[in-house]
A = this chain, B = another copy of it.
């Protein structure tokens, strides 16, 4: 194997994600789970309007993205502990969708809602606000739907929790309430902390700071600031 085969490649973003999740904590763990609206803002210096011609004929898109929220110095580890397996069992990173990969490339499928010049409105995204987008492709059902595919260790969507609001939270805007429920129902807690129902968590979502806890009844929102 010649050394030059190992040479690297350079990529530049074609745009950026604008999503409700400004921090890693709370970002949905797969596309299609959260239904909150997000945007892809394509770079007008790089992507001419004609590069999108025909995209209105497509219902869903693949987003190939760059997992930029990782600590720079964080090394790629061969194994990870998927939240779904309780945080104790290790799997090879290439057998998972963990962002801590040899090349930190993300793959998400989203529903395309509307195209406004070089901004795409989408639903179902699982990416941090500000994530660089490397590519957009049409979802081709006859090639991308694999009806007989199986993944034994992750064979269905994660369990959904009920979300309730404590009395002291008071009245909130309906759109904000929907975004909170959309995020918290998927249980953003790290897997190894899930045994502790008294523990309070804080997260940032859209323009607010949330406090919540999780017990056997589901998620309780304690405060919104």
User: What is A's interface to B at a CB cutoff of 8 Å?
Assistant: 1, 5-14, 16, 30-33, 43, 45-48, 50-55, 57-60, 62, 64, 66, 78-79, 90-97, 101-103, 105, 107, 109, 132, 134-157
Interchain CB contact under 8 A, A14 and B102: yes
Interchain CB contact under 8 A, A5 and B13: yes
Name the B residues within 8 Å of A14 (CB-CB).
Answer: 102-103
Interchain CB contact under 8 A, B51 and A92: yes
Minimum-distance CB pairs A-B, first 10: A53-B92, A54-B95, A57-B152, A54-B91, A51-B78, A55-B95, A50-B78, A60-B149, A8-B12, A30-B143
Interchain CB contact under 8 A, B138 and A55: no
Interchain CB contact under 8 A, A12 and B16: no
Tell me, in angstroms, the Cα distance from A148 to B60 when the chains sit together: 9
Q: How many copies does the complex hold?
A: 2
Residue from B5, B11, B79, B95 in contact with A11 in the complex, judged by beta carbons closer than 8 Å: B11
Interchain CB contact under 8 A, B62 and A107: yes
Residue from B5, B50, B60 in contact with A16 in the complex, judged by beta carbons closer than 8 Å: B5
A-B pairs with beta carbons under 8 Å apart, 8 shown: A8-B11, A9-B66, A51-B92, A51-B94, A52-B95, A54-B91, A57-B153, A145-B147
Tell me, in angstroms, the Cα distance from A55 to B46 when the chains sit together: 37
Tell me, in angstroms, the Cα distance from A147 to B154 when the chains sit together: 19
Interchain CB contact under 8 A, B46 and A102: yes
Tell me, in angstroms, the Cα distance from A150 to B142 when the chains sit together: 9
Interchain CB contact under 8 A, A103 and B135: yes
Residue of B nearest to A59 (CB): B150
Name the B residues within 8 Å of A43 (CB-CB).
Answer: 1, 6
Q: How far is the CB of A101 from chain B (nearest CB, A)?
A: 6
Name the B residues within 8 Å of A13 (CB-CB).
Answer: 5-6
Name the B residues within 8 Å of A1 (CB-CB).
Answer: 43
Interchain CB contact under 8 A, B148 and A97: no
Name the B residues within 8 Å of A142 (CB-CB).
Answer: 154-157
Tell me, in angstroms, the Cα distance from A91 to B16 when the chains sit together: 23
Q: How far is the CB of A150 from chain B (nearest CB, A)?
A: 5
Name the B residues within 8 Å of A147 (CB-CB).
Answer: 145
